[in-house]
Chain A
Amino acid sequence: MKTAVITVLIVWILLSGVAWMLQPKPDDLSKTNLTWLSDDNPTRREQLGLFNRLNPQYNVRLDPVDTNTGGGMEKVIVQSIAGVGPDLFDSYGSYKLATYVKAGIAWDVTDELKNAGIDVKKDAWKLALSSVVYKGRVYGVPSNVGTPAIWFNKDLFDKYKVPYPKNVRTWKEFLPILQRLTIRDEHGRVKQYGFLCDSWMVTQFIWQWGGRTYTPDGTKCVIDSPEAIAGVQFFHDLMYKYHVMPTPNDEAAMATQGGWGSGTMTLFMGGKGAMALGGRYWLCSLRDIKELKLGAIECPYGPHKIYWGSSRVTIINKNSPRRKAALAFLKYLASHDYNELVNHQADCVSPMKAYCYTDKYMHDPDYPNEDFNAVWRDTNDYAMTEEVSPFINAQTAGRIVEKQLDLVRNNQKPATQAMKAAAREVNAEIQKNLDRDPNLRAEYDRLMGTKAK
Chain B
Amino acid sequence: MTQDPPELYPPELLEHGRHPRNVGRLAEPTHSARCTNPLCGDRITLDLVVQDQVVAKVGYEARGCTVAVAAASLLSEAVLGRPVAEAQALAAGLQAAVRGEAETPEALLPLTAAARFPARRRCATLAAEALEKALQR
A binds B: no
